[in-house]
Structure 1
Amino acid sequence: MSTTAALLEQAARCEAQLTAPGAPFELVDIDVGGRRLKAYARAFATLPALIDSGREHGDKEFMVYEDDRWSFTRFFAAVDALAGRLQAELGIEPGDRIAIAMRNRPEWAVAFAAIALVGAVPVPLNSFGLRDELFAALHDVAPRLLFCDAERHERIANDLAALGIVDVLAASVPGPDSTSLDFAALIAPGGPSARTPALAPEDPALILFTSGASSQAKAVLSCQRAICQAMHNIDYIGAISAMTSPKALEKLMQSGLAPTTLTAVPLFHVSGLHAQLLASLRGGRRLVFMRRWDSKRALELIRSERITQFNGAPSMVMQLLGEPGFAEATASLGGLGLGGAGMPQRVIDDVLACRPDSLSGIGFGMTESNGVGAAAAGALFFQRPASSGRLPPIMELRVASLDGAALADGAAGELCLRGVSVMDGYWQNPQATTQAVDEDGWLHTGDIGYLDADGFLHVVDRIKDVINRSGEKIASAEIESCLLQHPQIQEAVVFAQPDDVTGEAVVAVVVTRPGAELSPDQVHQHVAGNLAAYKVPRDVHVRSEPLPRNPSGKLLKRVVKHEYSGA
Structure 2
Amino acid sequence: MSLVEKIDGINAQLLGPGAPFEIVEKSINGHVYNIYKNAPLTLSQVIENARRTDEQNFLVYQQQRISFQSFFKRVDSLASWMHQHGIKKGDRVAIAMRNRPEWVIAFSAIALIGAVPAPLNSFGMTKELCDALSDIEAKLLICDGARYSRVHQSSAWSGVSLVLNDTSLDLTGVSKTHDLDKALHFPALELKQPKLEDTDPALILFTSGATSKAKAVISSHIAVCQALFNIDYISAISAMTSPEAIARILEKQLVPTLLTAVPLFHVSGLHAQLLTALRAGSRLVFTHKWEAKEALKIIKKEQVTQFNGAPSMVMQLLREPEFNTPEIMKTFGGLGFGGSGLPNSLVDNALSILNQHMVGIGFGMTETNGVGAACSGTLFSLEPKSSGLKSPIIDIRICSTDGVSLKTNEIGEVCMRGISLMDGYIGKSSSNTDTFKDGWLHSGDIGYLDDKGFLFIVDRIKDVIIRAGENISAAEVESCLLEHSGVDEAAVFGIADDETGEAVVAVVHPLENMSINENDLIAHTTACLAKYKVPTKIHISQTRLPRNPAGKLLRSELKKSIYS
Q: Where does residue 20 of structure 2 map in the other structure?
A: 24
Unaligned runs of 5+ in 2: 466-473, 497-538
Q: Partner of 1:146 in structure 2?
A: 141
In the other structure, the counterpart of 1:222 is: 219
Counterpart secondary structure, 1:127: coil
Superposition deviation, residue 26 in structure 1: 0.7
Quick one: which amino acid aligns to residue 451 of structure 2?
Answer: A
Q: Does 1:428 align with 2:427?
A: yes
Residues 193 and 368 of structure 1: CA distance in aligned 2, closer, same or farther (over 3 Å): same
Given the alignment, which residue of 452, 455, 460 partners 1:454? 452
CA distance in 1, matches of 2:287, 2:563: 41
Query: Equivalent residues in 2 for 1:469-508 (5 A)?
Result: 498=478, 500=482, 505=491
Structure-to-structure mapping, 1:102-113, within 5 angstroms: 102-113=97-108
> How far apart are the structure 2 equivalents of 1:162 and 1:325?
48
Distance 1:171 1:104 in 2: 15
Aligned counterpart for 1:48 among listed residues 39, 44, 51: 44
- C-alpha displacement at 1:58, in angstroms? 2.8
Instruction: Report the CA distance between 1:56 and its aligned residue.
Output: 3.5
Decide which moves more: 173-182 or 329-338.
173-182
Distance verdict in 2 for CA 1:163–1:57, change over 3 Å: same
TM-score by length of 1: 0.82
Structure 1 residue 373 displacement after superposition = 0.2
Q: Which of 90, 93, 102 does residue 88 from structure 2 map onto?
A: 93
Structure 2 residue 72 is the aligned partner of structure 1 residue 76: yes
Q: Which residue of 2 aligns with 1:363?
A: 362
Q: Equivalent residue for 2:535?
A: none
Alpha-carbon distance in 1 for matches of 2:295, 2:161: 32
CA distance in structure 2 between the aligned counterparts of 1:213 and 1:263, rounded to whole angstroms:
22
* Residue in 2 that maps onto 1:516: none
Distance of 2:174 and 2:377 partners within structure 1: 52
How much does 1:130 deviate?
1.4
3-state SS of paired residue (2:315): helix
Equivalent residue of 1:158, what SS? coil
Deviates more, 1:91-100 or 1:224-233: 91-100
Partner Cα separation in structure 1 for residue 282 and residue 400 of structure 2 = 43
Structure 1 residue 32: deviation in Å? 2.1
State yes or no: 1:235 paired with 2:266. Answer: no
Separation in 2 of the partners of 1:162 and 1:539? 32
Residues matched between the structures, number: 495
Identity %: 49
Q: Equivalents in 1 of 2:255, 2:247: separation in Å?
A: 14
Matched residue SS, 1:448: strand
Is contact 1:201–1:225 with CA below 8 Å preserved after alignment?
yes
Question: Does 2:180 align with 1:186?
Answer: no
Match of 1:352, SS? Answer: helix
1:204/1:222 contact within 8 Å kept: yes
Partner of 2:120: 125
Please tell me whether residue 164 in structure 1 is matched to residue 162 in structure 2.
no
SS at match of 1:316: helix
Distance across 2 between alignment mates of 1:91 and 1:323: 50
Q: 1:223 to 1:453 in 2, by over 3 A?
A: same
Give the CA deviation at 1:369: 0.2
- Separation (CA, whole Å) in 1 of partners of 2:280 and 2:263: 20
Q: 1:542 to 1:404 in 2, by over 3 A?
A: closer
Q: Cα distance, 1:125 vs. partner?
A: 0.7
Instruction: Quote the Cα distance in structure 2 between the aligned partners of 1:145 and 1:108.
Output: 14
Assess if the C-alpha contact under 8 Å between 1:32 and 1:420 holds in 2: no
Partner of 1:304, secondary structure, is helix
Query: CA offset at residue 134 of structure 1?
Result: 1.3
Residue 252 in structure 1 maps to residue 249 in structure 2: yes
Pairwise CA distance, 1:163: 2.7
Secondary structure at 1:163 match in 2: coil
- Specify the SS of the correspondent of 2:358: coil
Residues 319 and 451 from structure 1, CA distance in 2 versus in 1: closer, same or farther, beyond 3 angstroms? same
Residue 199 (1) aligns with residue 196 (2): yes
Of 129, 134, 155 in structure 2, the residue corresponding to residue 134 of structure 1 is: 129
How many Å apart are 1:195 and its aligned residue? 3.3
Return the offset for 1:33: 2.4
The range that moved more, 178-187 or 218-227, is 178-187
Q: 1:452 to 1:153 in 2, by over 3 A?
A: same
Give the counterpart letter for 2:349 in structure 1: D
SS of the aligned residue for 1:327 comes to coil
Output the amino acid matched with 2:110.
I
CA-to-aligned-CA distance 1:353-400 (integer Å, 9 cap, x gap): 100031110010000000000001000001111100001211111111
What residue number does 1:443 align with? 441
Deviations along 1:86-113, one digit per CA (max 9) or x if unpaired, are 011x201111111111110000000001
Q: Do 2:91 and 2:139's aligned partners in 1 also have CA atoms closer than 8 Å?
A: yes
Amino acid at match of 2:44: P
Cα pair 1:60 1:284 within 8 Å, conserved = no
Pick which of 166-175 and 422-431 moved more: 166-175
Letter of the structure 2 residue corresponding to residue 62 of structure 1: F
Classify the secondary structure of the residue corresponding to 1:112. helix
Deviation at 1:507, TM superposition (A): 6.8
Q: 1:417 to 1:539 in 2, by over 3 A?
A: closer
The residue type equivalent to 1:12 in the other structure is D
CA contact (8 A) 1:509 1:540 kept: no
**d(CA) in 1 for partners of 2:75 and 2:45?**
14
Unaligned runs of 5+ in 1: 468-494, 511-519, 545-567
Q: CA deviation at 1:57?
A: 6.3
How far the C-alpha of 1:196 sits from its partner, in A, is 2.1
Amino acid aligned to 1:143: A
SS of the residue corresponding to residue 36 of structure 1 reads strand
Q: Is the 8 A contact 1:448 1:463 kept in 2?
A: yes
Q: Is the 8 A contact 2:93 2:115 kept in 1?
A: yes
Match for residue 334 of structure 1? 333
State the alpha-carbon separation in 2 of the partners of residues 63 and 24 from structure 1.
29
The answer to whether 1:269 aligns with 2:263 is no
The letter of the residue matching 1:225 is I
**3-state SS of the aligned residue for 2:50?**
helix
Could you say what secondary structure the match of 2:93 adopts? Answer: strand
Is 126-135 or 385-394 further displaced after alignment? 126-135
Q: Deviations over 1:19-45 (max 9, x none)?
A: 111111011100122111100000000
User: What is the rounded CA distance, in whole Å, between the counterparts of 1:418 and 1:234 in structure 2?
Assistant: 18
Conserved in 1, the CA contact under 8 Å of 2:210 and 2:552? no
